[in-house]
Amino acid sequence: MLDIAGKRVTVMGLGRFGGGVGVTRWLASQNADVLVTDLDPPDKLTDSIAQIQNLVDSGSVTLRLGEHNVADFTTCDVVIANPAVPKPWENRFLRAAQAARIPITTEIRLLIERLPSRERTIGITGSAGKSTTTSMIAHILRRVLGAEHVHLGGNIGGSLLADLPRIQPVDWVVLELSSAMLHWLGEEAGYKNARGWSPAISVLTNIKPNHIDWHGEFAHYAQSKQGIFAQQTPADIAIESVESASSQRFSAVAKAQVTIINVDAESVRSALPETLTLSVPGEHNRVNALVAGTAAAAAFARESRTNIEPGGRIHPRAVANAAALLADFRGLPHRLEFVGEFGGVRCYNDSKCTTPEAALLAVAAFEPVPGRSRIHLIVGGYDKGSDLTPVANLAPTLAGMYTVGKTSPTIAAAARSAGAGSSVIECETLDRAVSEAMSRAKKGDVLLLSPACASWDQFTNFEFRGEQFAKLVREHTKVGAPA
């Protein structure tokens, strides 16, 4: 475990939505001498700065914003890299730290090194569905064990470092792990200063091309995701969902007991209780419920030493019982969140959708009406390098597609090539997209913000984008609150 107390620490990347805030506050609590450096100027980091201003005022934290200085990375004792920094193996400041033999780590590494029990840690990753699945697992565990004994963190938001004093050896920790986090927890790069790490129960929802801008290529992205299994032991549990028997199984690297979940409609229907009705729409959320039920059942099985069959398979009855506890799961903000019904048009905020695959699932969540299209889809945003053709190909089946942001022209052109014609409208801004969609929508239609892209070209984060969508819908309809 890397010693922090009293050390000179450089935090690389405060972030516009607080990516470095939690670790900075924790470092200061450990009596470290902290320098926070970010390429963005102060006026773009206002919210994040406000959260550590008291530490700056007290002299515990120093800010260097609008630039990086190589000396800050070569004369300190430790560098904390923000996982948002793309292709860290090519970053000249991190390379300088490495050349100077300065240890480099991340917030997630600091956390897992200090958790009281790896054996009671569940890690979830995937290209789509990981946030919902992570929340579902925590929901089930809390229903059985009590909220005070289950701690939710990682990529889903908020650092758990400050919660370490409250995390007891008997508690469970549920972590959403991004591909960037898993890259830093791996062993393949020379700037690492610690062994690879995998949680005792690892869950992979799926792997589709994503975050190519960060990784450079799909192969590196997939390798990073696969790392969630790489350091498991034969006593651990690996859970992977696959779309067909012939699907590539990334859990092949695992030494753990492997449970494969088939996610075709028939398998999901037979595995879940017939009486289970979820408040979150879509068949994909039933898949998420099955995966979450399996992971939660695995956790309960490790406690009771029962319900694990030969080869690591979790007993189907235990999975069904765990999934049944999701009947009152309300879903996540900005993930197919119902905003309200205005003039007979039901509006949904799916701003957390930042991949083409997630957008396809969102559209599929709504039952078609025979004889007409009823979905008005707002799509587009920051270009992460994903192939947006599958989303564009939806256009001919929709009542309307409204493209926004950096990827707007690309999606619109591909949609017209797919035969969509006048149902595709390049709007550039979310404001215009909502206005155009609401003026065309009819009673019984659905207005869906499911961008398939990140928000960073026009919004600070996906949360702000979703909040603006809800505000614009209400303003456009001159309604103060959802009906």
Residue matched to tokens 């897992």: 112
Q: What's the whole-number average pLDDT of the chain? A: 90
Q: Are 219 and 210 in contact (CB under 8 A)?
A: no
- The mean pLDDT of 320-332, rounded to a whole number, is 92
Question: Residue 191: its pLDDT value, please?
Answer: 57
Q: Evaluate if residue 481 carries a pLDDT over 80.
A: no
Q: For residue 457, give every residue at least 6 positions away whose Cβ sits within 8 Å of its Cβ, in sequence order, or none.
A: 381, 382, 383, 405, 406
Q: What's the confidence (pLDDT) of residue 408?
A: 97
Distance, in Å, from the CA atom of 207 to the CA atom of 209, rounded to the nearest integer, reads 7
Mean pLDDT of 237-243: 91
pTM (2 d.p.): 0.82
Q: Are 295 and 141 in contact (CB under 8 A)?
A: no
pLDDT of residue 406: 96
Q: How many other CB atoms are there within 10 angstroms of residue 87's CB atom? A: 13
pLDDT at residue number 312: 63
CA–CA dist 147, 142 (Å, integer): 5
